[in-house]
Homo-oligomer: A and B are copies of this chain.
Amino acid sequence: MRADHLSSTLSALADPTRRAILARLALGETSVAELARPFDMSGPAISKHLKVLEAAGLISRSRDAQRRPCRLNAAPLGEVAAWLERYRVFWDASFDRLDDYLRQVQGNGGPHGERQ
C-alpha cells in the first residue's frame, strides 16, 4: 500500500467498480447489499472494495441494525481536483495553440518540425 494520501486516493479511484460505487453513493447513503446489487461479484469482493474506499477516506460507514450503510466522503476528491488544477492550462485548447506557437518560435521540433 502506498504511503501518501493522493496516491491511495488515485489508486482507489482507478477501478471502475469502485467509481460506480461512488456514483451510487452520490445519490445518497445506502447499504452494502444495495451497493453490491449491480455487480456480478461476490459479497466479500464488494466488502474489499469498500475497505479500499474507506482506507482512502472516500467513504465512511455507520451502523443501522445489521446494515453498515456507506456514505460518500468527497474531501479526497477535492484534493485530486486541487492537484489537477496545476495542469489545467495544459489541456485547455488555448494552451494547445500556445504550445504549438512556442514550438514554432523556439524550433524545438527541428527546422522541419511537423507543421500539421
Chain A residues in contact with chain B, CB under 8 A?
2, 4, 6-8, 10-11, 13-16, 19, 22-23, 26, 29, 62, 72, 74-75, 77-78, 80-81, 83-84, 86-88, 90-91, 108-109
CB contact under 8 A between A77 and B81, given known A10-B10, A26-B90: no
Copies in the complex: 2
Residue of B nearest to A93 (CB): B78
Cβ contacts A to B, 27 pairs, < 8 Å: A2-B14, A2-B16, A7-B14, A7-B15, A7-B19, A8-B14, A10-B10, A10-B11, A11-B14, A14-B14, A19-B83, A23-B86, A26-B86, A26-B90, A62-B109, A72-B90, A74-B90, A74-B91, A75-B91, A77-B87, A77-B90, A78-B88, A80-B80, A80-B84, A81-B81, A81-B88, A81-B91
Instruction: Give 6 nearest A-B pairs by CB, closest first.
Output: A74-B90, A78-B91, A10-B14, A11-B14, A74-B91, A77-B87
